[in-house]
Amino acid sequence: MVNTLQKNNIDTDPAACEVTFVDQERVEAVRAAFKPETVFSAMADIFKALSDPTRVKILYSLSLTELCVCDLSNLLGKSVSTVSHQLRVLRNLKLVKFRKAGKIVYYSLDDDHIHTLFREGLEHAQE
């Protein structure tokens, strides 16, 4: 195990280490567990989508019940066009899905993973 130890006098942040120390064994264990770059990129895209308050409101609404574009438009006070655009973004990221009932298209969260992700994020934000 090769470790690096140096005194670091530059950093005054109390939450920062006072020395530079690299635990090569831990670093290599984490590196071995890394996912492919495409996974990290897809995850970043999901978090980017969640950075928009309108999309978060849409996801929150859909976590309660399925709704159509007109319902969401009315609920959020946004145009149908704006809501449709945001739903397209969420659909492309596989965060929402849709089903047709005659001439009406209903949206809902894509699966239980999205419900869990959203519920956990909401709980964390409320703490």
Q: Is residue 46 included in any domain, yes or no?
A: no
CATH code, 97: 1.10.10.10
SS3 for 45?
A: helix
Total domains present in the chain = 2
The pLDDT assigned to 21 comes to: 83
Alpha-carbon distance of 53 to 96, in angstroms, equals: 16
Q: Tokens standing for 41?
A: 């990129």
Are residue 122 and residue 67 in the same domain, yes or no? yes
Q: Is residue 115 included in any domain, yes or no?
A: yes
SS3 for 50?
A: coil
Q: Is residue 10 included in any domain, yes or no?
A: yes
The pLDDT assigned to 74 comes to: 98
Strand partners, 59: none
Q: Is residue 101 included in any domain, yes or no?
A: yes
Are residue 27 and residue 84 in the same domain, yes or no? no
Show the domain range for 13.
3-34
pTM for the predicted model, two decimal places: 0.78
pLDDT by residue for the chain (127 residues), tens only, comes to 455 544 444 556 777 777 788 899 999 999 999 999 999 999 999 999 999 999 999 999 999 999 999 999 999 999 999 999 999 999 999 999 999 999 999 999 998 999 998 889 889 999 8
